[in-house]
Amino acid sequence: MTDLRRHAVLATCCMALALVTMDATIVNVALPAIRADLHAGVAGLQWSVDGYTVVAASLLMLGGSIADRFGRKRTF
């Protein structure tokens, strides 16, 4: 693998990680709006964040399983 290709793969993986992190940050930033719209308490907000995190983690595990079966490049 050439150096350019290695750097491209590294940059792609870093951008994917940044998107996942940004996605979780967006949920946390939206908590005041969720609280106002749903009239939720702290426990309700925790359930919102936990539910979102569990679904996102499940989809990541599903994506890894699909990548193992069909190839990482095709899946990504």
53-65 residue pLDDT tens: 888 888 888 988 9
Q: What's the chain's average pLDDT? A: 87
Whole-structure pTM value: 0.62
Band (37; pLDDT cuts 50, 70, 90): very high
Check the CA dihedral 14-18-19-24 and report its sign.
positive
Tell me how far apart the terminal alpha carbons of the chain are, to the nearest angstrom. 19
